[in-house]
Amino acid sequence: MSNIKTTSAAIALLAVCLTHTTAAPDNLVLWYDKPATDWQQQALPLGNGSLGCMVFGGVENEHIQFNHDTLWVGSEEDTGSYHAFGDVHVKFDHADAKDYRRELDLSSAVHTITYASKGTNFKREYFSSNPDQVMVCRFTADQKNAQSGTITLTDAHGAPVVAQNHTRLSATGDTRKHQHYWHAKALWPDPVILNFESQLLVLNDGGSVRAEGDTISFKDCSSVTILVAAGTDYLNQRAKGWTGAHPHKRITANLDAVAKKSPDALRRAHIDDYQSLFNRLDLDIGTTPAGKLKLPTDARMRAYRGKGAGPGEKVVYEAAAAGATGEPDPDLEELMFQYARYLMISCSRPGCMPSNLQGLWNNSNKPPWRCDYHSDVNTQMNYWFVDQANLSDCLTPLSEWLFSIRDVRREQTLAHFKKRGFAMRAENGVFGGSTHRWSVGDASWLANNLWDHYAYTLDKDYLKTRAYPIMKDLFMFWEDHLKEIPAPDGNGTVLVAPDGWSPEHGPKKEDGVSFDQQLAWDLLSNFAKAAEILGVDA
């Protein structure tokens, strides 16, 4: 994953229009021949829209860092910050792995790790299920009683981890102690306090499982399945103070229900649900020479960029890499396009929060740019391609979030500009708080995403209940904000956006900056079309 202000570079680059087919591409696997040691560039992401994780794949020590998309600090006054949730560490009693392979199958959203150790073949499978709202980690082997080790759960905010029984760990806390300014000690103004909880449940076949303090040990098991659930009491309703019921009962009941299902049933339900979105589109732009397909994905990426294979890989993959440096690899391009679709499905499903900067998988409580909704292009970039890529459902979180924060933004805009409607600053949070500089074109830019979604779907109910109310607020802002000046040709007057700036070319302010002018034009034009379609506000 690239360190840029989007969920992924792939999402930002792939605003393309393709024909819908039902055929599944053959080359849909990212794979590597060693464990990950770096969160940003090597670990692989899983997500069900709201519950995500990064899997590292260590042989002796597995690390699974997990998140929930509603774990935020902040207020209606300030953006706040998206936070990491916790970590699961699994220590195994075997080492000296051979034939190691770590792969993410984009066609199923299942992450698999295989290796051999002392004559036993081990397999791990990971997925984050939307229908069952759990992360599933399953460890098996081709020999009975081959799994022994320990499992620990840690909370990223220092909440105590306790054993509820011999198979379940939980960590419960709230954000009260963590409501401080980004990288500073002062408190957010009027912070919203969220309760949060994570639970880990261990199921075993054969052997024994026992909780010891904040750790669960497993010994001589033929298979081990770890279920992880997490959540907060966030509610996207300002009238209810942004909070609902404490997550404890919901998470406990959900894990109890899931524990009664077989791992195969959980896997099948997950794949069926995921493929209902992913299988809507196929891309075929050519065929890669077979030799290149033998390369791990990181080596293929280096070859594609003209950098060749890395140290040690040149010997193992000499035949495949020979002459490959800088040559076309259309299957890799298809893989990256589908990876963008995979990431969007994984982090933006109906009922979830929108895709943010580092994405669902943020691993820090002091993340770059607050891991927020950057409205000066980054949030828009995440969603440019969703309708063209036949993932229209995935835009819903964006419209729901914008709809939920309208009242807050209207109050802030009236207080600052003394004008109707609403505008945004460049950084934005889940409670409507908005910080950094005012960038009045930003909200209209986001409304472009909303209008494009209608243009693709022709969903009048969505236009009436979500897009149009937001666009009307923005229309009122521009109606009050635009400034009348003499026309350059001396004939009459024109309207310009006053005192504007371009986020990427500022910081100087002046009237009629192209950034604001063009976004105001788009908003007003699209609003007029929407009013005509709905037969209102003639």
Residues facing 154 on adjacent strands: 87
Looking at residue 293, what is its pLDDT? Answer: 81
How far apart (Å, rounded) are the C-alpha atoms in residues 388 and 87? 36
Where does the pLDDT of residue 303 fall: very low under 50, low under 70, confident under 90, or very high at 90 and above?
confident
Distant-in-sequence contacts of 317-321, Cβ < 8 A, 24+ apart: 319/291, 320/291, 320/292, 320/294, 320/295, 321/295
Task: Give residue 307's pLDDT.
Answer: 65
> For residues 131 and 265, is the Cβ–Cβ distance under 8 A?
no
**Domain range 337-534, its CATH number among 1.50.10.10, 3.50.50.60, 1.20.1370.20, 1.10.1520.10:** 1.50.10.10
> What are the tens digits of pLDDT across the range 310-361?
444 443 334 344 444 467 899 999 999 999 999 999 999 999 999 999 899 9
Give the C-alpha separation, 113 to 59, whole Å: 9
Q: Which two tokens stand for residue 15?
A: 């605003």
Share of the chain above pLDDT 70, in %: 91
pLDDT at residue 433 tops 60: yes
CATH of region 22-278: 2.70.98.50
pLDDT at residue 504 in the model: 80
Domains 22-278 and 337-534 share a fold: no
Q: What φ, ψ does residue 435 adopt, rounded to 5°?
A: -130, -170
Cis preceding linkage at 507, omega within 30: yes
- What pLDDT was estimated at residue 213? 82
As a whole number of angstroms, the distance between CA 259 and CA 202 comes to 9
Mean pLDDT within 373-392 = 96
Q: Write phi, then psi, for 303 (nearest 5 degrees).
A: -65, -40
Question: Which run of H or of E encompasses 508?
Answer: none
pLDDT digits (tens, 9 = 90+) for 236-284: 999 999 999 999 999 999 999 999 999 999 999 999 999 999 999 999 9
- Report residue 33's pLDDT band, with 50, 70 and 90 as the boundaries: very high
Measured in residues, the chain has a length of 538
User: What's the whole-model pTM score?
Assistant: 0.91
What are the boundaries of each domain within the chain? 22-278, 290-325, 337-534
Pick 479 or 506 by higher pLDDT: 479
Three-class SS state of 50? coil
